Structure 1
Amino acid sequence: MSPTQEFPSEQEIRAAVDAALAAIGQASSSAELKQVRIDHVGDNAPLSIANRGIRDLPKEQKAAAGKLIGGSKGQVQKALAERQQQIAAEELEQALRSETVDVTTWQDRLPRGARHPLSTLGDRISDFFVGMGWEIAEGPELEAEWFNFDALNFDEDHPARQMQDTFYVAPEGSGQVLRTHTSPVQARTLLERGVPLYIACPGRVFRTDELDATHAPVFTQVEGLAIDKGLTMAHLEGTLNEFSRAVFGGEPITRLRPSYFPFTEPSAEIDFRCFSCDARAGIDHDADPACRVCGGTGWIEMGGCGMVNPAVLRACGVDPEEYQGFAFGLGIERILMLRSAVPDMHDIVEGDIRFSQHFGTEI
């Protein structure tokens, strides 16, 4: 109490107690009762202020004032405790009613998940190639350098061999890597089965990329390899056109751009005409400059392809004068992002079941 403030009378103390008891009786929840406690027995409550004011009273008045304030606070505290027990019992009963479980009702105790869309799309891609009469081939993810690089015509100083691109397996000089593409499966299968050969090779690959919106250190590819007599780039383009129809629907427009890969010669990049903006109407229609799918170019880069380099055929025991072939590689994550408008690679790799559940029905 301030020096100018008088000590409250007995009637004022009783009025404060009555107000506290009324507020306690009206409180209907633990939160409301907590606020009542603060208002009526907290540091700034009238009874607490009066209790601190006892020290300023004359000595002969302190005992009576202390007895009055102590009894009043005790009465309020007792009422608070009783009301707290009542409210706790009421809230417990309400919770039990609202959370009641009928134990006689059948319950599916196994949480329902969903196949990851990469798995679903991978199966769909495999079905397409099987439908064409191709085989599905698989190989190890921990691969020998010879199959991953040498057999595919990579020079010893090729940038792809460097540590910034490839995961090398300890100890140093082990000659083993985490495969950077599924092309080693092609070399293995050529050596095991010989020619003619028509295979698709889906699987995980590993590169030392940072995880961002469009890249991941672990991703999936599907590579195709066809080796036979008389195969040309026309067969390659026809295969890719049929693939694009099966995966994206409609009548996609594709193009091949000259490029370079050690294991194909000639080599090309395969582009699809953007199916998100006006460019999808044909090459004589301009793309939307603001299109996020094609970046305003009208074309979407899908992967690399080309005729198998004769050096690769010879490394696998095939006579390039008698047999020719084509190969291509496509990223399944990229196909999923374009096909289903997935904006960020994080959504694909983080394993949130809510993402996969959107793909529960495939038509």
Structure 2
Amino acid sequence: MIENTYKENMNKNDFIKFLSAFELSQSKITKILNALNGEYSFEKFCFDDQVEKILGDDYTSISRKSNQKYFDAYLARLEEKDIKLLTCEDENYPEKFDKIEDKPYYIFYKGDISLLTMPSVGIVGTRSPSNYGCVVTERFAKDLANAGAVIISGLAYGVDSIAHRQALAVNGKTVAVLASGFDNVYPSEHHALFDEIAEKGLVISEHRPDVKSLKFNFIYRNRLVAALSDALLITEAGAKSGTTITKDFALDYGVPIYAVPGNITSSKSDGTNNLIATMQGICLINSENLISDLGLERKKTATMQLSINEQTVVDALSMAGCTIDELQENTKLPISKLNSLLTSLEIKGIIKRMPGGIFMLG
């Protein structure tokens, strides 16, 4: 059981924890704290006229729960679920949130909170990436995580989940920022991924565990992703992608933005190509530049020996991928030989066979 040494008066840290039980807006919490003027107690909270006006229709139900017994039970439920609660008064509260005008008064978390102090890259993008988008996201997430960067994303479909999984695949660290409470992981198909990140990295939310994901919550969540990132990398996004919101927050916070260029005929790359064209984003075609900008170094790995013909195939593969006919034309190798080489390179993990008969670097 979490100990509570106070009975009537409490410090600001504990009072904010008490307020977290009611999913109040940031503005209401600010008004309540100002109204109480440093006098934090259940009695003062229940009988203050200004607090009653601030809470409005919620006043009656909340005031009935304003007692030590309810608060103790609330903290006990969090502890049973292994959910930690951190307020802005705590020494472990992330300094990176200070750049947010309406920074959260508290966050719920599972995992290693110290990850929020480490060099980090937010990786975001479309929820329905192309083969190209999948491959470049995998490549950059692996490289950055291998170099020691913490990968920040939102557990969503597409680029988010790819970035999380690839960080974990190389035993790197990743942080998932949720738009819901921990009892309502969204999307539900990512519950296993949520559990793995909680065990090996960190999951955070500014919402009480039972809160479901609402449209506005996703927009609000994006400000946390941007603030926690030392750099924001957009690997693939259309012109009207929700990623634009995260990008705008990053611009407001002075977080450098990197964008991976895409095929100019693909609508899925309109957003990233426009970022580069308008000079809002730095064009990124290899991970070394971003790793260097973060002050990190790529870990040295053993170089895999390839035959001359295998290297010829690898050199012929563009980042966007090629069909076997395009590879045959580029390499001039017989189809039978090319098939054998492609199989060998797949086994070695150098290339991947994607839907539509496209081969891409792994």
User: Please, what TM-score do these two structures have when normalized by structure 1?
Assistant: 0.18
If each structure's helix is expressed as a fraction of its own residues, which one has the higher value? Answer: 2
If each structure's strand is expressed as a fraction of its own residues, which one has the higher value? Answer: 1
Q: Which has the larger radius of gyration?
A: 1
